[in-house]
Structure 1
Amino acid sequence: MPLVMVLLTILFSIIIVRIGTVALMMTGLSRDVAVFQAQSAFTGVGFTTSESEYVVSHPVRRRIIRVLMTLGSAGITTAMASLVLTFVGQSAGEAAERAGWLAIGIAGLYLFSRSRVIDRWMSRVIARMLERFTNLRLYDYEQLLGLSKGYSIAMLKVQPGSWLAGRSLRELKLADEGVLVLGIYRRVNGREVYIGAPRGDTVILEGDTLVCYGPEGTLAGLARRLRGPEGDREHLEAVRAEAKRREEVEKELAVVRSTARRA
């Protein structure tokens, strides 16, 4: 019976961490970050990374993490107690046999936790249950933002000599390149502040970190662009590339509209 309790506790832990992962994803965290933070909270280790700041600063995420920590404490205590009872009072032969069954059970649970089919099925079921019984909603941010269609979100550090530094967003005309500045991280009096949805008259300073959305190639070039005639030339090339891209999109939309009218 103690051996069964150990395996059931491990299974319970896997399911709880999976529920916590899906719940954190519903608050906007990426899957990789959600998995790590859920495991960290449940086990009580590794929860001092910089990413944890984005978790504890969000009220819903804090509640999820608090529940995971509570259940993790109970689960680890139960597992350790059951593990000790599994081998107490047993002969060497019986202990070896139980150790073998324990190893087989843990291996089976490991394969269960690593199965992509089971992972997808559990994630769908958990998401539906959370949507039904909580106020959380799961959004596919990759699909919403077109991240698989050539677009990307990037954090660009404004280095000394950057083409971006010392100019306002209105002067930079990044929208002509298809780039939107969603926010700016800036050090003010020794602390970091966030400027969300900056206006056109916002001036970009050296040391700022810009949160940008746009074509992946354009963002990569923008991060390396230097002040001067060469940087201005790269800007004009990016503007022409964006104009061409929009023209191609308009042609595709025209074909779709024409087909719809004939139908």
Structure 2
Amino acid sequence: MNLLFLLIYFIIIVGVIEIFVVLFRLTGLKLEISRFQVISLMTGTGFTTDESELILGHPIRRKLATFLILFGAFSLAVIISSISQFLSKGLQAKEVLVLVAVVLCVYLALKLTWVQRELSDLFNRKMKENVEIADLPVREVFLKNKEDTLLFLPIFRESKLARHTLHQSIEKFDQLEMSVLFIKRGKVKIRRNLLDTLLHEGDQVLLFGTKKVIYETFYQDLLLMNEKEVEKGLL
């Protein structure tokens, strides 16, 4: 009896997990991240800050996550109680087996290519209809390619960029695969004439482009930034 209970319970839980893994994947989330986050949401443990941004900043994933949290909080207890009652009454587990069959049918249906295609199109339509680009997490907008990166580059007194413009410091900046989004100076964000703005100590330059180009172009400044961080850690 105990083994039957555990088997039924295991099938239902695994089925629900796999169903939501497929749904999260159809929104564009990677498989390994999807599975970890589904289990985390259902159990209320290990919901990491970095990866949670991929879910919290995405309206469709947020709705799926809400269901999983509620399911984890209430439905698991209900399932355990129901299965126990069915088995303790000596029933033939008909109702439980129907529930298991439904879960498995939903999972198998979601594995069909045409179903996934339809759901993916539906999710994309919903995104286009209801979501503004400002609602999406940074990774969804800027970092879709592995080669891309965003970097806040601080300007130190020792930096070669200090007291110079980007045009003066970097040859043919316009031809490089990167852009300056803005320059932060205290509480002010400078958004105009960025390449011809004189940089001061304490400025922060937000760069967007390919990792290779940014890291090669600002190699000395990144070394300086790391040195400053090490010095802070030693103080």
TM-score (norm 1): 0.47
The one-letter code sitting in structure 2 at the alignment partner of 1:156 is L
1:219 aligns with 2:218: no
Tell me how far 1:162 sits from its aligned partner: 4.1
Is residue 155–residue 211 contact of structure 1 (8 Å, CA) maintained in 2? yes
Going from structure 1 to structure 2, the CA distance change for 1:146 and 1:187 (only over 3 Å counts) comes to: same
Letter matched to residue 148 of structure 2:
I
Report the CA distance between 1:212 and its aligned residue.
Answer: 1.6
* Structure 2 unpaired stretches of 5+: 91-103, 129-138, 223-235
In structure 1, C-alpha distance between the alignment counterparts of 2:80 and 2:185, rounded to whole Å:
46
- Number of equivalences: 183
How much does 1:153 deviate?
1.2
1:1-263 mapped onto 2 (5 Å cutoff): 2=5, 3-23=7-27, 25=28, 33-47=33-47, 49-53=49-53, 55-81=55-81, 125-132=115-122, 135-136=126-127, 147=145, 152-159=147-154, 160=156, 161-164=158-161, 167-168=164-165, 171=168, 172=170, 174-181=173-180, 183=181, 198-201=191-194, 206=202, 208=204, 210-214=206-210, 216-226=211-221
Aligned-pair CA distance for 1:19: 1.0
Distance in 2 of aligned mates of 1:185 and 1:53: 25
Task: Tell me the amino acid that sits aligned with residue 69 of structure 2.
Answer: M
- Tell me the CA shift for residue 224 of structure 1: 1.8
Once the two structures are superposed, residues 74-126 of structure 1 have per-residue CA deviations (whole angstroms, 9 ceiling, x without a partner) of 45334544676698699xxxxxxxxxxxxxxxxxx9xxx9xxxx9x9568743
Q: Say which SS state the counterpart of residue 218 (structure 1) adopts.
A: helix
- % identical aligned pairs: 21
Task: For 2:74 and 2:113, locate their aligned partners in 1 and report how far apart those are by CA, in whole Å.
Answer: 24
- Contact 2:43–2:72 at 8 Å: present in 1 too? yes
SS in structure 1 at match of 2:118:
helix
Partner of 1:45, secondary structure, is coil
Q: 1:59–1:85: structure 2 CA closer, same or farther, 3 Å change rule?
A: same
SS of 2:49's equivalent in the other structure is coil
SS in 1 for 2:70: helix
| 1:31/1:89 CA distance change after superposition, 3 Å | closer
Deviations 1:17-41 (A, max 9, x none): 3313433x2xxx6665555444432
Cα distance in structure 2, aligned partners of 1:5 and 1:82: 10
The 1:187–1:128 alpha-carbon spacing in structure 2 relative to 1, beyond 3 Å, is farther
Post-superposition offset of 1:11: 1.0
- C-alpha displacement at 1:45, in angstroms? 1.9
TM-score for both structures, normalised by structure 2: 0.51
| 1:5/1:82 contact within 8 Å kept | no
Secondary structure at the counterpart of residue 126 of structure 2: coil
Q: Deviations over 1:147-173 (max 9, x none)?
A: 47xxx2123342434445565555556
Distance 1:185 1:123 in 2: 47
How much is the aligned-residue C-alpha RMSD, in angstroms? 4.9
Partner of 2:228: none
Offset of residue 55 of structure 1: 4.0
SS of 1:213's partner is strand
